Amino acid sequence: MKPVAIHIGLRRVVDDSYDILIGIPLARAIEDIVRISGGGKAFVITDSNVARRYARAVDRSLRVRGKRCRILVVPPGEESKSRGIKARLENFLLSAGAGRDSMIIALGGGMVGDLAGFVAATLFRGVPYVQIPTTLIAQVDSSVGGKVAVDHPLGKNLLGAFYQPKRVYIDRAFLRTLPPREIRNGIAEIVKYAAILDRRLFSVLESSSTGDAARNSASILNIIKRCCILKKSVVEEDEREADRRRILNFGHTIGHALESLSRYRISHGEAVARGMVAEAMIAAGLGMISKNEVARLERLLRIYGLPTDIPAHVNLNRLFNMTRRDKKARGGVVEYTLLEKIGKGVTGVRLSPSRARSLFRAGLSKRPR
């Protein structure tokens, strides 16, 4: 597949438009970064797992092309998406002579992209940055759309901004080095897009037999492209999540609460998979979808080795009370994105934690064993 450019057009206040370049090798991405970044320094923010594989090559490629470069490495894992790590990065950047003409390069998965993007958004009130996502979940979702953030002890992504990158570079070669769990994490977000926006994609996913085949399959680029097109259509309509963009939160209200309660031992994709099934059960309890559609969603997630149950040790009162801290909650009432049918989600379903918990418990009691 030849490289494909998907243009995100955002011109309502200032021109924040940019391209997602899909299928572009890392070396060509570096060439393009040098071309668009001007004469300032480049600062690569990455984690230690990614740095071991790619940091030296990126550093050498930038320097060969005359770009001054520093590599900033953080520990892997969601725990690094914190105010403390952000402050350490900012201290380094300021002491290393970063300026408004500097370019920040986010090289890594969703944690790195969120963290580096938030640093870029606040340093000197905004410096340019680009995303080079190295995980499937980042390639299909988190690198696109300009949501950047760090976590807070009270919840996930509670401190952040909307700040768009200058480019997103997607290279399938990164996926070959991912462990199966990381592939599954990305597939959870792909299933989310299919469930809320694309019935045909849902059927395509059902026809596959194993998620691990995505690692070496040329078709994965087509799936990545489709997810990026779906997100483009949503973000162009509603960049700052005032309305339409909330459709992308399916599975995330309960999923984020579950992540936080587990102290991020449950990965994002696994939490979203569990959250999607739980929220589908709530929708069924409201009469929005049938039990057969809930079962179809659950069956698809299991095809790809994703968990679908809320762990037995999780206290449901704590879980649903945690959803009050969701960014969309108002006055203690949580706004859910739920399914109307496979391929169509709806936003703005307002439920108190106790009502959502009751609907979920009712769904559990009626679940086939």
What is the C-alpha separation between 244 and 237, in angstroms, rounded?
7
Please indicate whether residue 313 is annotated as part of the active site.
no
74 neighbors 47 (Cβ within 8 angstroms): yes
Q: Is 333 helix (H, G, I), strand (E, B) or coil?
A: strand
What is the C-alpha separation between 241 and 323, in angstroms, rounded?
18
Please indicate whether residue 328 is annotated as part of the active site.
no
Please indicate whether residue 256 is annotated as part of the active site.
yes
Phi/psi of residue 336, nearest 5 degrees:
-100, 150
Please indicate whether residue 125 is annotated as part of the active site.
yes
Find the catalytic residue in 172, 192, 236, 249.
249
Please indicate whether residue 241 is annotated as part of the active site.
yes
Please indicate whether residue 366 is annotated as part of the active site.
no
Find the catalytic residue in 215, 245, 274, 357.
245
Please indicate whether residue 249 is annotated as part of the active site.
yes
Q: Is 57 helix (H, G, I), strand (E, B) or coil?
A: helix
Find the catalytic residue in 41, 167, 231, 246.
231
Instruction: Tell me the two tokens of residue 174.
Output: 């990164």
Find the catalytic residue in 81, 147, 192, 225.
147
Find the catalytic residue in 182, 236, 239, 241.
241
Cα 337–chain centre separation: 16
Extended beta strands in the chain, E state = 4-8, 18-22, 42-47, 69-74, 103-108, 129-133, 147-152, 155-162, 167-170, 334-341, 344-351
Other beta carbons less than 10 A from residue 206's beta carbon: 14
DSSP 246-277: GGGGTTHHHHHHHHHHTTT-S-HHHHHHHHHH
Please indicate whether residue 147 is annotated as part of the active site.
yes
Find the catalytic residue in 2, 35, 125, 313.
125
Find the catalytic residue in 78, 189, 236, 279.
189
Find the catalytic residue in 81, 172, 252, 274.
252
Tell me the catalytic residues.
125, 147, 189, 231, 241, 245, 249, 252, 256, 268
